[in-house]
Chains A and B, each alone.
Chain A
């Protein structure tokens, strides 16, 4: 039996990887992928806690987080395609029409 703390460490590592990815990557698609990593860290946390506490709420929450991640990817890729059509680039530092 793997103790719950192991799951939490994996989740924390995944979360950190995601945050570093968002903050350092230039390509918009990779940033979006890093955000998915963060949401997966959330899911690991929720399911691990759910198992540890013998409560089902966490698993229900995880299903909703997965749904949200899917919706976010759908909307996100749509917006990115519209952006790419007009600008022919996917690099975050070339978004300079509006000053950051």
Chain B
């Protein structure tokens, strides 16, 4: 009976519907959480997290069914489902699942455990998935704003904490400002091409002279907006403040999923519309990458707050990933995709350790709070070491393989100076990552209590560690998975 009814509803829907099923399922679960939240009392709010995880699971199943599609456009070619979109979709879903697992205990300690948190997280994920599969300026803009608006609210979710309020206001003002600039660039792109479709825009840009002022203004405004979203220098100022103010599990999400989504946007635009005018931006992107590595790696050295330290280190990582775009070879793009995949696990893992330090009455974000972790909770100290080794890019962890592909692509294209810069910046990175490890392993614990690891946190930490070690020792499968993004038509067009 039910099967029959569902079947009949299914017949009514257009075939294209299957292509956005992953997003639709997340949306249904997000709305469901908003409803069930009213029925749950204080003690059983964790059911919201279970529902959210179920939504992520169903969405992943729907996305799995799309994995073999090659470039299907739908809805008047406003979205395209290609391996690129599927790869990034999985990345966002993994990140969302890890963040949900890490949030339950954290929100209980903060006494802000509400269903809206999970609903907003799922809405943000919907935005990201549309961002990765948008092939039209309108879809890209809406995806970006769906994600950004959800994150503004999530950053300010700890309403009674002043730093959270302040982080949210800063994120909102600077984020909305950059979205406005980006939208201005989009309006010029539409004016130049007469279409909002990225493929059409690429054709129009190819036939314009590269010095055309309209083309250059659109390039400058769109790049400024996108660089802001990925927190690249000189548009990085918001990152440390927002990372410090936001609830720690949301910081993990902003630094990982939101960054990956913005990279998807960056690649979609720069590898289609802006590819014909590549000589005008290649040096600028290289400069931004070097500046990001410099400010990120040297800024992190002096930080005493763990979340700020990881914020600066994430600015440095953005620099590395941008170098893959400068090289613009298959290895470069594969490197960006693989780096982002690894980054999901290693950075979420690092923030998970910070979450463990949060307890009643202890904020636990200062580097001193790590002191003597090895004697208080040896497992956490060992995992911290693994995450830091991976972030610094030391073999046999997966972080090394990510950096390896970026270096490889730079050397292939003869960017030796950039490759040397990138290699040199591993030194300051080693210094500040090991400063964190030294606090955990060498310092006296003082009177601090043992951190408790809940079941959900344990699962998330185990997943992160397992991935970093497996992808570091047996990387082939994962490299192939990242390599599938190259099969996407828009990348095939420029790589041919």
Contacts and interface: CB of A to CB of B under 8 A. Distances in A.
A34 B47 CA distance: 42
Contacts of B170: 95, 98, 100
Interface string B237-253: 10011001100000000
A66 to B, nearest CB: 11
A80 interface: yes
B168 A83 contact: yes
A39 B167 CA distance: 23
A2 interface: no
Contacts of A61: 137-138, 141, 186-187, 190, 196
A98 B188 contact: no
Interface stretch (B156-164, B283-291, B314-322, B350-358): B156-164
A72 B175 CA distance: 10
B163 A98 contact: yes
A31 B180 CA distance: 12
Give the interface size class of chain B: 35 or more
B394 interface: no
B217 to A, nearest CB: 9
B226 to A, nearest CB: 16
A76 B172 contact: yes
B165 A86 contact: yes
Interface stretch (B145-153, B368-376, B468-476): B145-153
A52 B245 CA distance: 46
B176 interface: yes
A11 to B, nearest CB: 8
Nearest to A44: B187
A93 interface: no
B180 A35 contact: yes
A32 B184 contact: no
Contacts of A41: 184
Contact of A82 (B165, B177, B196, B241): B165
A15 to B, nearest CB: 6
B169 interface: yes
B54 interface: no
B180 A79 contact: no
A71 B166 CA distance: 20
A89 to B, nearest CB: 11
Nearest to B160: A86
Contacts of A1: none
B163 A79 contact: no
A38 B169 contact: no
Nearest to A72: B176
Contacts of B141: 61, 64-65, 68
B367 interface: no
Contact of A38 (B159, B172, B180, B190): B180
Contact of B166 (A46, A52, A72, A83): A83
A31 B174 CA distance: 10
A15 B183 CA distance: 11
B180 A75 contact: no
Contacts of A95: 166, 169-170
B142 interface: yes
A38 B138 contact: no
Given A57-B195, A75-B149, A98-B163, A35 B173 contact: yes
A57 to B, nearest CB: 5
Contacts of A55: 194-195
Contacts of B241: 98-100
Contacts of B240: 98-99
B152 A75 contact: yes
Question: Across chains A and B, which 6 residue pairs bring their CB atoms closest together, nearest first?
Answer: A38-B180, A45-B187, A49-B191, A98-B241, A83-B165, A53-B194
Given A68-B141, A72-B149, 11 more contacts: A35-B173, A38-B181, A45-B188, A46-B187, A57-B196, A65-B183, A82-B156, A83-B168, A86-B162, A98-B166, A98-B167
12 contacts: A32-B176, A52-B191, A58-B196, A60-B138, A72-B149, A75-B153, A76-B172, A79-B153, A83-B168, A98-B163, A100-B170, A100-B237
